[in-house]
Amino acid sequence: MTVPPPLQDLGREIPRLQELVREWLDLFPQAEGQGRHWFKVLSQVQAHAAEDLCRVAVVGAVKSGKSTAINALVGQDLLRRGAGILTAMITRVQPGEPQAVLQFKDWGEINGEINRALGLLPSSRLKERAAPFDLRRAEDRDLLTQVLSDAEVENLWGEGSLDPNYLLLKSYLEGYGLVQEILASSGNLTLKGSALARHGEMVTREATAVFLKDALLTVPFPWEAGGMELGDCQGSDSPIPQHLAQVLAYLVKSDLVLYVVSSRVGLRQADFQFLRELKRMGLLPHIFFLLNLDLGEHSSLAEAARLRDRVVQELAMWQPDPRIYAFSALQLLLERRRTKGEGLDPREAALLSVWEVVPESSAYSRKEAARFEEHLKAAVRDLRTRRLAGGTLAQVLMAVRGLREQAELTRDFLGQDLGAIQEMQRRLEGRQQPLKATLASLHQTLEGAGSRLKKVLRDRVTSLMDTHRGQVGAALVGFIRNYEPEWDRLAPPEAAAAQFRSALYKLFQDLVTELDRYVSAEVNVVVVEFVQAQEEWLRQELSRVGAPLLLSLQESLTLYYREMAELGLAAAPPALETGRPLRPPDLDLPLFQLQTDPGWWLAGEVWVLSGVGFLSRAWEALKRRLKLAGETEPRRQVLKGLNRALKTIKKWLNEQVRMQLVDFGERLKFRFFFPLVERWLKEQEAALDDALGSLLTDLEGMAAAAHLEEEERAVRRRRLEELIPRVKGIEEKFSGKGGQGQMAPAPFPGPHPPTP
């Protein structure tokens, strides 16, 4: 992928501009303040361009081929396929020197998950326990081992090794010895060289994957991909709610989405549910759909084409003319590896041979893969160019224009006598004063607006979290109130009172799991919609507040340029714009996560309030007196007890929701919205400060030039005559007058696939 022309020009031309500023300062050291300003602006632009990142989230159902698609794009078997079901993290892949940086969870997160999974576990070993589990304590690990052993004997987890709670607890126990040294030090592990391959084992092995929070891989790409990140997301149909929460958190920061669909399965109900969530987040126009062809499953190209057409029709209700590409990610990966000279194992070589039996399908797959990569590169280039044009490039243009205009004006100054120079200085200084005064008024106005905007946002967040009427708070309380468990699964016909505690554990875990799923799939999507709406409102308010003063600034700048024209420098004033503010990349949107560690006291309270202990003893006594052996009454007693227990659990959950909504609302206000308001206000002020600072002539430098000897003036005029065309050439390139570097954004690639 070639770097977008503006970005490419920035990387090459900014050092040239900085050198021209140095030449200017060599000629007029008295203008050091102006030079420092230009250097500051150019350094900021360099840093922004270097840090600008286009994130591409790779999503899709479990086993759809997401990891294979990323491996194909980077041309190597980087991501091991089939990551463990507990791996609730996004593996991020960026171009660079080969390296893996693994970030582990902190002990608060680890122990919180353990205590949540043990909530209401019917173990006699936990009855007397008052303190929460801490995996770092040897006695707690021993106790957890015994608890798991007892639960296995009692067949508490009917799903066996597939039960997420059982697998999580077992994995934490098994993996502790493998990661304890890492957690005791920095909590991060960096792998390079031959050790890089270890990251695959760390991610796919449950005992270590359960401890991981983030993975960043940097590897060389087979094409220029600077400023791009691929995010390998968990399956959108994963049964674990935390997976969807992680995917949603990454999607909030993503610019593009690559949605992988397996040709063997096609689109399913889970895909349509996920598409609804993507639509609500405003991401549908930014999706590339990859129909990942299994070339061995389709007998002809026509069959593959029919499948692609069917997927297009199914997607049409979500996105008219969806961008869809049909190719085999595995074929692309194997052929890229072979092109690099890497040996394929016999099975892989045999696959390529088999696929060539239908050469039309293989050729079509290659053509589609090439079309996809071309469009993906163009989309990344377009996004980065548009972001650059939104502010960064404008700062460069102001700086280069200011340097050129000041050089031209000073050149003309040097040809006049001292009296004329002093008169010109006086007139320009008079025109600069209104600009500086208006800019000061703008700063005061924006500062006052900040307090008002924060108050409105504070009230709106509080309303959102309100448990009676708020869109988030009331929804959560309503979900808990209306939740009904699967009673037949919890208390089958043969249920007896002795099974109450295990049924109670399943009741609690089922409710919490469904609540977590609701938070991930509904509540946090509402939060994202709310934040997006408030950001747009905030942009409009900032524009409305600053518009009158921006107009005054523009009028003052026009008068200043009119004065310069009368002095001999004919130039139209540039348009002052603040641009559309974007969410700062380092400001993460917090999402709601409900912490549901019940503590050991809740188990006892639920047990007492359910009445099952007393009722079961009374019922057994009554049966003995009446000599009854009924089979259904014990189940009725279990159901009554579970109903009472459910009320207690719901009451506890409602209390937890209320407290945690208050805390989340405070985080949303003080860690997101308020910093966002302050950052955007400062950005507006800084943008205008930088623009005017770049354009307004440094009068001290001009005054110093006025006192030079005639011969020295002539020398400096000649050097300015040489400098000005060089500055002008860079200015024309960035302003679009120089041909190749023009700023008109490239058109977005068309969505229609070619007819096979």
**DSSP per residue, 689-732:** HHHHHHHS--HHHHHHHHTS-HHHHHHHHHHHHHHHHHHHHHHH
More confidently predicted of 560 and 593: 593
More confidently predicted of 154 and 215: 215
More confidently predicted of 569 and 102: 102
Q: Which segments of 210-306 are extended strands (E)?
A: 212-219, 228-232, 256-262, 287-292
Mean pLDDT computed over 448-454: 92
Q: Which of 174-178, 447-451, 570-574, 603-607 has the highest mean pLDDT?
A: 174-178
Confidence at residue 702, expressed as pLDDT on a 0 to 100 scale: 67
Give the burial class of 621: count Cβ atoms within 10 A of its Cβ; 0-12 exposed, 13-18 middle, 19 or more buried. Answer: exposed
Q: Is the pLDDT of residue 485 over 90?
A: yes
Q: Give residue for tokens 């008052």.
A: 130
How many Cα atoms occupy the beta-carbon half-sphere of 603 within 13 Å?
Answer: 26
Mean pLDDT computed over 335-347: 91
Confidence class for position 231, pLDDT limits 50, 70, 90: very high
Confidence class for position 57, pLDDT limits 50, 70, 90: very high
Q: How many CB atoms lie within 10 A of CB 545?
A: 20
Decide: 378 and 748 in contact? Cβ < 8 Å.
yes
The token duo for 277 is: 């969530």
Say how many residues make up the chain. Answer: 756
Q: Is the pLDDT of residue 396 over 50?
A: yes
Confidence at residue 240, expressed as pLDDT on a 0 to 100 scale: 80
Q: Residue 452 and residue 440: Cα distance in Å, rounded?
A: 19
Q: Mention every residue, 6+ apart, whose C-beta is less than 8 A from residue 649.
A: 507, 508, 511, 602, 606
Question: Percent of the chain scored above 70 by pLDDT?
Answer: 88
Q: Is the pLDDT of residue 724 over 80?
A: yes
Q: Is the pLDDT of residue 269 over 50?
A: yes
Mean pLDDT computed over 223-228: 83
Q: Is the pLDDT of residue 86 over 70?
A: no
Q: Phi and psi of 101, rounded to 5°?
A: -120, 115
- Domain boundary assignment for the chain: 1-51+382-414+724-756, 54-96+220-357, 106-195, 419-573+589-707
Confidence at residue 446, expressed as pLDDT on a 0 to 100 scale: 84
More confidently predicted of 120 and 348: 348
Mean pLDDT computed over 671-677: 96
Q: Is the pLDDT of residue 513 over 80?
A: yes
Mean pLDDT computed over 668-683: 94
Q: What is the pTM of this model?
A: 0.85
CA angle 16, 18, 21 (to 5 degrees): 115
Confidence class for position 230, pLDDT limits 50, 70, 90: very high
Average pLDDT over the chain, rounded to an integer: 84
Confidence at residue 3, expressed as pLDDT on a 0 to 100 scale: 44
Confidence at residue 85, expressed as pLDDT on a 0 to 100 scale: 57
List the beta bridge partners of residue 190: 101
Q: Is the pLDDT of residue 118 over 60?
A: yes
Confidence at residue 405, expressed as pLDDT on a 0 to 100 scale: 86
Q: In the chain, count of helices (H) and strands (E)?
A: 26, 9
Q: Give residue for tokens 């960026």.
A: 94
Question: Percent of the chain scored above 90 by pLDDT?
Answer: 39
Confidence class for position 721, pLDDT limits 50, 70, 90: very high
Q: Is the pLDDT of residue 732 over 80?
A: yes
Of the candidates 674, 677, 667, 658, which has an alpha carbon nearest to the alpha carbon of residue 590?
A: 667
Confidence at residue 22, expressed as pLDDT on a 0 to 100 scale: 92
Decide: 66 and 188 in contact? Cβ < 8 Å.
no
Decide: 57 and 69 in contact? Cβ < 8 Å.
no
Q: Is the pLDDT of residue 244 over 80?
A: yes
User: pLDDT tens across 141-190, in order?
Assistant: 999 999 898 888 777 776 555 678 888 899 999 999 999 999 988 889 99
157: enclosing H helix or E strand: none
The least confident of 11-20, 198-207, 568-577 is 568-577
Q: Mention every residue, 6+ apart, whose C-beta is less than 8 A from residue 134.
A: 107, 111, 140
At the top level of CATH, which class does the domain 54-96+220-357 belong to?
alpha beta
Confidence class for position 746, pLDDT limits 50, 70, 90: very low
Q: Which segments of 328-374 are extended strands (E)?
A: none
Q: Mention every residue, 6+ apart, whose C-beta is less than 8 A from residue 233.
A: 57, 58, 59, 66, 90, 246, 247, 250, 251
Decide: 653 and 596 in contact? Cβ < 8 Å.
yes
What's the DSSP call for residue 576?
Answer: P
Q: Is the pLDDT of residue 101 over 90?
A: yes
Distance between first and last Cα of the chain: 26
Q: How many CB atoms lie within 10 A of CB 237?
A: 18
Confidence at residue 701, expressed as pLDDT on a 0 to 100 scale: 67
Amino acid found at 414: L
Q: Residue 241 and residue 250: Cα distance in Å, rounded?
A: 15
More confidently predicted of 146 and 636: 146
Confidence class for position 737, pLDDT limits 50, 70, 90: low
Q: Is the pLDDT of residue 578 over 90?
A: no
670: enclosing H helix or E strand: none
Q: Is the pLDDT of residue 615 over 60?
A: no
Confidence at residue 154, expressed as pLDDT on a 0 to 100 scale: 75
Q: Is the pLDDT of residue 754 over 50?
A: no
More confidently predicted of 734 and 216: 216
Give the burial class of 498: count Cβ atoms within 10 A of its Cβ; 0-12 exposed, 13-18 middle, 19 or more buried. Answer: exposed
The token duo for 577 is: 């714009």
Q: Is 575 helix (H, G, I), strand (E, B) or coil?
A: coil
Confidence class for position 627, pLDDT limits 50, 70, 90: low
